[in-house]
Chain A
C-alpha cells in the first residue's frame, strides 16, 4: 500500500527529550509533597476495619481533646455524594451511615504533627452493627437482603447491567463451521504509581480555597470540591504540581482530596494529607477482577461471524468509572476485526472490597485476552496460521462497525506484517522445541473518549491559551495534565512547530485552574489527540497575527509570507526575511502582549441505541504483538525473551515518548499476565505493599522491538493518534498464546503464575496428550 511521503516537520516526528527532564533528573521538579505551607497541619484518616457495617455512632470527643488536635471530622459534616461520573454519585468524602470496605474512610483529623494525629485517631470510638459481607460478585446478582449501595438493581448488588445485541448471534452460531469458547478469570491489578496520593488544601480569609493535589484530572477534582463543599468553582483554585504517575489511579476525584479541603476550611490552616503505601493500596481504583465468557464463530472460509460475550465484573464498594467499565468490557472487543453479529451482557457488581476503577487500557484489557486466546483456538481448529485469520478479518480504513464505531485510519495490517516478518514467525510457530514458543496478540483502543464525562455547560474537550510578550517567550496554559507521559513536551513542540521557533521559547505553565483553560485531563488516551488539535489551533491563530505583521513590515501581501526557522520568509526574497522578534514587536504595537486561544471539540458519533456513545472515539489505535517465551518445565518459571510490538498510533509525534509509552505499557501488561494480583481472603486485601504486590523488575523485562507503522490519521493533530494505553493490551494475549505454543497449555486465568504453569503441564501429561513430542 503506497502512501504519500510524509510532510517534513522540523520537530514533530523526531525524538524530543522531555522539557521537564532537567528538573526531574536533579530532584528539582516539584511534587505535591515537596510543597510546604506556613503553619501547615498534618491530616490523617481513620479507616474502617470492618468490611460492611452500619455506623451507629462515632464519638470523636476524646479525639478532639488531644492537645495539638485542630479538627476531627466525620461523614455527616459533608454528606453530599460525589463520583467521577455524574450519573453514579455514590461516594462521600468520609463514610456516612455505613462503612463499605476494609479501608473505607470513617473519620479525618488535622493535628500539629503525625504522632498527635495518630493518637487522636486511636481515640475515636465507633459503635457499629456488622452487616453481611459480600466478597464474591457471583453472590451479588440475586437474593441480596442488605445491598452495599442504595442505587443497585433491586434485591442485588448489581451496579450496572448492559445488554446489547447487534445482528443475530444465535443464527450466526447455527451457521458457523467453527466455534471456540474461552472462560476467562482475571485477578484485580492496581496502578502502583511511585508517588503516593497526596493533597494540600488551604482556605484563606478572602473566602478562597486552594488545593494542590496529585491528580491527573484537575478539572473533575475542581467540580467535585465545589459540589461537595458547596463553594462556587471560581472561589476554588486547583493546582496540579508534578505528578508521579497515575495510570488511571489519580483520575477519580478521591475522598481524601475532599476531606483534606474540609479540614483546611474547618481549621483555617493549611492541611496536608499524605498517604502511605498501604493507604494507596486501599484506595485502589485499579483494574476490575473479572470473569468473562467469550464465544466466537467463523464460517468455513475463516470469516468471523459472531462474538457472544458475557462479563461479570467485581466493582468493589463504589461506582467510580464502573458504568463505562461495564460497557467497555464488551464494546472494546469491536476491533480490530469485522464482527457482523455481536451480543454482550455485562454486569458490574458491588462488593465490600476497595473500589475498582480505571486503569491503563481501562475496560479493553481483560476482554482482549479472552478474545485473542479464542481466536488462537479458532485458528488451530481451522488449521490456519493465527496471522492469516486475523488479517483476513481486519477492519478496513473508513469502515463502520456493527455498533457504529467509525474507523478512520487503521494500519492494523501493517502492524501484523511488521511483526510477522521481524519475529521470524514462519520459522518459529509450532516449530520451536518443547518449552519454547511464540504467540500473537492484537489490540485496539480508543484515542480519546468521544463523549466527555461532563457535558454541561457545553464546551470543548480541550482548550489551549498562548501568550507572547515582548521577550518572545511563549507561555502556554491548559488544564491538560502531564503525569509523566510527556504531554507538556508535546504541547510545547506543537506550538514551536507551527510558529517555527526554538523549543526553548515555549514554556508550558503549571496547571492552575485560576489561569488554565479547561481541558478534561489525562484519561482515555485523549491528550495527544484533543490537546494536540487545540494547541495547533491556538498556534495557528498566533501565526496569523505574526504573518500579518511580517507582511506589514515588508509591505507585501500576507500570502507572500511563510514561517521559517525563527523568522518569516518572504516569497522570492530570501534577504528580506523578518526575524521572529521583529514580527512580534510589530504585531504588539497596538495590542501589547499577543494572546491566542485554540480548542478542540469532538463531533457527535455513534448510534442512537442505549449506550451507543460508549467506546466511540474520534480515532482508534491498533496493535499486533508477538511474544517469544521460554518455559522451565521443571519449575513452571518462564521468561518472556522478546516482544515485537507493531503499533499504529498514526504519526508518532515524539518517538522518544511513544517508545516510552510502549515500553512502560509492556511492563504493566507483563505484570498483569505474569504475577500481579490484588489478593484477597474474603474481603481482606492481603498484599497492600510493593513488597508483596510485585511489579516486574529489570531482570524480568524482555527485549522490546518497536515497529511504528501508522499512517496519518485524517483528524489527528499532524496525523497522530494515542499511544498511552493501547500498547498495553496486546501484551497479555501475546504471552498467553506464546505459552500455548511452548507447552500446549491454554491459560485463561490470570495471572499465569509458575504454579499454574506446572499444573497445566502436569494436566496435559496426565491426559496423555503429547505436545511437540513431549
Chain B
C-alpha cells in the first residue's frame, strides 16, 4: 500500500516514487528534494516564468503547481530537455544568437520554446511572442530570444 504521502510520476523519462507532503509545491520538490536546480525560482507567484517545466508536454509554472497534481504524469525539466551530449537545437540557437545574458530566465524560456516548437514547428513571430509572454526577461528586451526561437524553427 502506498502511503498517503507517496507520489509517483515520470521525471525526465524515468519513474520516480517519493514521499511528498500534500502542501509541497512542485518547484520545491524539484529544487530542494531532488536537487534539480536548473529550474529557477524567480518570484514564487507565477509572475516570471523562470520555474517553467513541462507537465505532459505543456509548459507549467512549477511554483504554482502542487506536487501532488503531477501524480501519474510526465514532468520534464530543463535537465530532461537537455541531451546527454551536446545541446538541443533550441539551446544551440540560444547560444549562437546571444539569447542568454544573465541566464536566470533562460531555462524557463528553453522549456517554453521547446514545447512551442514541438506543437508548432514553424510558428509566426506573433505566435512566438504569445508563447513566451509568460516568461519575463530583464536583460535582452526579448530581441535575441525571439531571433533564436525563429532560427531554431528554421525561419532564418
Contacts and interface: CB of A to CB of B under 8 A. Distances in A.
B110 A25 contact: yes
B102 A244 contact: yes
A243 interface: yes
Contacts of B56: none
Contacts of B98: 15, 17-18, 21, 486, 656-657, 659-660
A27 B102 contact: no
Given A194-B48, A277-B47, A243 B102 contact: yes
Contacts of A22: 87, 91, 95
Contacts of A690: 42-43, 45, 47-48, 136
Interface in A652-699: 656-657, 659-660, 663-668, 689-691, 695-699
B123 interface: no
Contacts, number: 174
Nearest to A26: B82
Given A245-B138, A663-B141, A31 B133 contact: no
A21 B145 CA distance: 13
Contacts of A575: none
A304 to B, nearest CB: 32
Contacts of A15: 98
Interface string B99-127: 01111111100100000000000000000
Given A194-B137, A690-B136, A699-B133, A24 B42 contact: no
A245 B87 contact: no
Nearest to B35: A36
B16 to A, nearest CB: 18
Contacts of B91: 22, 25-26
A193 B100 contact: no
B104 A194 contact: yes
A18 B146 contact: no
A192 B107 CA distance: 18
A482 to B, nearest CB: 9
Given A194-B138, A689-B45, A27 B94 contact: no
A285 B52 CA distance: 28
Interface string A240-272: 001111110000000000000000000000000
A244 B138 CA distance: 10
B42 A666 contact: no
Contacts of B136: 192, 194, 690, 695
Contacts of A193: 102, 104, 138
Interface residues of B, number: 49
Given A277-B45, A690-B45, A194 B38 contact: no
B46 to A, nearest CB: 8
A577 interface: no
Nearest to A30: B37
B44 A276 contact: yes
B102 A195 contact: yes
A485 B143 contact: no
Contacts of A33: 37, 41
A282 to B, nearest CB: 14
A383 to B, nearest CB: 36
B68 interface: no
Nearest to A657: B98
Contacts of A29: 103
A26 B39 CA distance: 10
A267 to B, nearest CB: 20
Given A277-B42, A277-B47, A704-B143, A664 B101 contact: yes
- Identify which of A24, A245, A696, A697 gathers the most chain B CB atoms within 10 Å of its CB: A24
Contact of B44 (A246, A277, A656): A277
A667 B142 CA distance: 8
Contacts of A34: 37
A194 B50 contact: yes
A247 B140 CA distance: 12
Contact of B102 (A30, A245, A695): A245
Contacts of B141: 663-667, 696, 701, 704
Interface of B: 35, 37-45, 47-48, 50, 77-79, 82, 87, 91, 94-98, 100-107, 110, 128-130, 132-133, 136-146
Given A244-B104, A656-B98, A691-B45, 9 more contacts: A20-B103, A27-B78, A192-B138, A194-B105, A244-B105, A277-B42, A484-B104, A486-B101, A666-B141
7 contacts: A21-B95, A245-B102, A483-B102, A664-B138, A690-B43, A690-B136, A704-B143
